Amino acid sequence: MGAAYAMTHPSKIKGSAFEREVTANLARFGIYARKVPLSGAVKDDRHDHDIFLRIGALEFKCECKRRRRAFRTIDRMLGHNHFLFVRDDYARGLVVMSQDEFHRLLVWLWNATQQGKE
């Protein structure tokens, strides 16, 4: 009998690949981001997010979600606008933006935190 091994579920592989994609895109813009090891697998504050992001002294926990078609309607609602503000009844409001717009915002924020440090 062969050794037992755990097979990774295809959705986990897809999710991990998307997390690496997002992290690499942020790095292209000079934004420090790292994929959190064991994100979702360990139930504590250090692992309750997918990506850790730092801009100057500001730190952000980021969650990544990739679905086959779940976000198409939201993308259509956003259209060519910079931001989409949404809220379900009895839920908190959310802000949606494209990754390109998010990168632009992060670069601006990074530059703003660096002014006066030179």
- Tokens standing for residue 56: 């100057």
Cβ proximity of 12 and 32 under 8 Å: no
Q: What percent of the chain has pLDDT over 90?
A: 29
Q: What is the pLDDT of residues 55-76, one digit of tens each?
A: 878 888 888 888 888 899 999 9
- Report pLDDT for 6: 64
Residue among 116, 117, 113 nearest 56 (CA): 113
Q: What percent of the chain has pLDDT over 70?
A: 82
Give the global pTM: 0.72
Spatial separation of the C-alpha atoms in residues 7 and 10, rounded to whole Å: 9
- The yes-or-no verdict on residue 2 having pLDDT over 60 is no
Spatial separation of the C-alpha atoms in residues 61 and 70, rounded to whole Å: 22
- Report pLDDT for 70: 85
- The yes-or-no verdict on residue 48 having pLDDT over 70 is no
Domain 10-114 in this protein, CATH class: alpha beta
